[in-house]
């Protein structure tokens, strides 16, 4: 084993593919031992016609699935000595990750699907035809055995789970806990929606991702995870943000929707869309060691029955701001998956309750929810007015008040670049104080300024505003 550097070309002969950066080759050779027996040689036999047809299909499937530039498989037949190559698979893709994935996928599938038999000739003089591996069908046969044994599920319940389709929106902490449970349980179709990419700060709690996934799309990586866990599940990756433009189409495509997002706007949009289309929504949110979960059924009270006025995302913080630990989203994600399973097998769901749990004190509170007469959410309308105390841009506030002052309330040690013309007076200095002129308050995300403005207005001060999204929102809009 040696690592070397050379300034001369490395000689490996291959077809030129200028768009391909990653080439992976698998070379399966005859080993001198198998299951503790000493092996002298191997003999391979094929049902040629079928093997060729199935093999060709396999290669084309791999090319489409992994977006390959090229893929080639050669399998050897007849008598082979120890050290000879039995099968060689070469794969070319733009990036290495797909090349590795495709090459391993092809050899796994080939062993299952392509009718080639192997005879082992042992040093003892004996020989034996060997089955390479259980077929995927056989593996799936036992897969749900333990589930079917539950009296609440049985073969009928398993059939319902297998026939179901679930839209999972948000593949962060909650989604990463929902996904293994539902893919494992054998939900027939999973549609995974998230426009984000994996960040290093996600990994501690979003344990379906690996470090090598950092920078890659969550939807695609989560789909890969689910397929590897349970190849019999049909998985689709949608690398989009759920919004008013695509909500109807996505929600319509599935029976049950799981909300794993950290956006209040998305939660209320999902709520209205599910109500309109008659779908069941399982929603959850976490904060510190606490969280809440409940299910909105087509006939039950909805999220907007609870909060008639849609809160803006700036009014409370998300995990990125407050922090969280792996067990919290895992706990609430599992509770969401349980709601899906219970819903599918006809078990009880939290349809007119809200469940609160605190993982520090291990205390649970269930609060009864009810239909609010005239609820617009129940009618399928998404209520999303910006409240009067919030503005989307500095200009919007200036239009209302010519004498507007802009005050940046971040601490002095935070990033120095407030908007042009703003004065920095940190949050703490506003306790009990009232601005003399109309004022737009600005902070990093809009959370602190919103809090300050709401507090002032509750004391009768008008003409104070908060910039929605804060400085970060301004940067993102530019």
Binding region for another protein (CB under 8 A)? 170, 172-175, 259-264, 267, 284-288, 290-292, 306-309, 311, 313, 315-319, 322, 324, 329, 354, 356, 365-370, 372, 387, 389, 450-452, 454-455, 457-459
Whole-number minimum distance, CB 111 to its own copies, in Å? 9
Provide, rounded to whole angstroms, the least separation between the CB of residue 110 and its own copies: 9
The nearest distance, CB 251 to its own copies, in angstroms, is: 23
Please say which residue, 73 or 456, places its beta carbon nearer to another protein. 456
Under rule CB under 8 A, residue 153 binds its own copies: yes
Q: Which of residues 70-129 bind its own copies (CB under 8 A)?
A: 70-78, 82-85, 88, 94, 96, 99-100, 103-104, 107-108
469 three-state secondary structure? coil
Residue 119 and residue 46 in contact, taking contact as beta carbons nearer than 8 Å = no
Beta strands per DSSP E along 123-164 = 127-130
Nearest Cα to Cα of residue 24 among 50, 53, 62, 60:
62
In whole angstroms, what is the distance from residue 219 CA to residue 204 CA? 18
- The conformation of residue 336, written as its DSSP 8-state character, comes to H
Name the residue nearer to its own copies (CB basis): 146 or 459. Answer: 146
Q: Quick check: 46 and 116 in contact, CB under 8 A?
A: yes
Question: What stretches of 253-358 show up as alpha helix (H) in DSSP?
Answer: 264-277, 303-306, 319-322, 327-345
Count of residues that interact with its own copies, criterion CB under 8 A: 132
- Could you tell me the smallest distance in angstroms from the CB atom of residue 139 to another protein? 22
Catalytic residues: 319
Q: Residue 153 binds what, of its own copies, another protein, none (CB under 5 to 8 Å, by partner type)? A: its own copies
**Could you tell me the smallest distance in angstroms from the CB atom of residue 351 to another protein?**
14
> Are 107 and 114 contacting, i.e. CB atoms less than 8 angstroms apart?
no
Nearest to 266 by CA among 327, 194, 178, 200: 194
143 binds, among another protein, its own copies, none (CB under 5 to 8 A by kind): its own copies
What phi and psi values does residue 467 have, to the nearest 5 degrees? Answer: -85, 115
User: Helix, strand or coil for residue 88?
Assistant: strand
Widest CA span in the chain:
100
383 makes contact, choosing from its own copies, another protein, none, with CB < 5 to 8 Å by partner type, with none
| 356 near its own copies (CB under 8 A) | no
Q: Which of residues 186-225 bind its own copies (CB under 8 A)?
A: 186, 199-201, 203-205, 207, 210-212, 214
């Amino acid at each position: 084993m040696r690592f070397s550097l050379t300034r001369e070309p490395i000689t490996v002969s291959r077809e030129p593919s200028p768009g391909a950066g990653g080439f992976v080759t698998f070379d399966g050779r005859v080993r001198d031992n198998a299951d503790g027996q000493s092996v002298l040689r191997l003999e391979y036999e094929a049902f040629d016609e079928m093997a060729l047809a199935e093999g060709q299909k396999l290669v084309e499937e791999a090319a489409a699935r992994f977006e390959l530039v090229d893929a080639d498989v050669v399998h050897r037949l007849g008598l082979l000595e120890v050290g000879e190559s039995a099968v060689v698979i070469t794969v070319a893709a733009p990036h290495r990750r797909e090349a590795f994935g495709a090459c391993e996928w092809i050899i796994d599938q080939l062993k299952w699907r392509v009718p080639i038999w192997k005879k082992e000739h042992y040093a003892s003089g004996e020989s034996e035809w060997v089955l390479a591996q259980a077929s995927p069908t056989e593996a799936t046969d036992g897969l749900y055995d333990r589930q079917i044994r539950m009296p609440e599920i049985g073969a009928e319940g398993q059939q319902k789970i297998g026939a179901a389709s679930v839209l999972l929106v948000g593949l962060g902490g909650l989604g990463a806990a929902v996904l293994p449970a539902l893919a494992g349980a054998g939900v027939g179709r999973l549609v995974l929606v998230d426009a984000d990419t994996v960040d290093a700060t996600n990994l501690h709690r979003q344990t379906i991702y690996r470090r090598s996934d950092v920078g890659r799309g969550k939807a695609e990586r989560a789909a890969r995870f689910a397929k590897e866990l349970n190849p019999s599940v049909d998985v689709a990756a949608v690398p989009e943000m759920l919004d008013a433009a695509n909500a109807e189409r996505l929600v319509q495509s599935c029976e049950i929707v799981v909300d794993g997002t950290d956006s209040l706007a998305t939660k209320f949009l999902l709520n209205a869309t599910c109500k309109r289309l008659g779908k069941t929504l399982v929603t959850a949110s976490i904060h510190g060691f606490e969280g809440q979960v409940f299910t909105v059924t087509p006939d039950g009270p909805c999220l907007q029955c609870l909060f008639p006025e849609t809160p803006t995302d700036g009014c409370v913080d998300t995990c990125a701001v407050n922090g969280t630990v792996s067990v919290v989203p895992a706990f609430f994600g599992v509770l969401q998956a349980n709601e899906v399973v219970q819903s599918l097998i006809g078990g009880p769901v939290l349809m007119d309750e809200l469940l609160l749990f605190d993982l520090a004190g291990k205390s649970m509170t269930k609060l009864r929810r009810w239909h609010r007469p005239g609820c617009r959410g129940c009618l399928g309308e998404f209520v999303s007015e910006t409240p009067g105390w919030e503005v989307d841009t500095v200009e919007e506030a200036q239009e209302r008040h010519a004498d507007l002052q802009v005050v940046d309330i971040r601490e002095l040690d935070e990033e120095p670049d407030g908007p042009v013309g703003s004065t920095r007076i940190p949050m703490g200095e506003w306790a009990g104080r009232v601005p003399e002129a109309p004022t737009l308050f600005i902070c990093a995300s809009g959370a602190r300024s919103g809090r300050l403005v709401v507090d002032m207005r509750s004391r009768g001060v008008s003409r104070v505003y908060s910039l929605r999204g804060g400085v970060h929102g301004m940067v993102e809009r530019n």
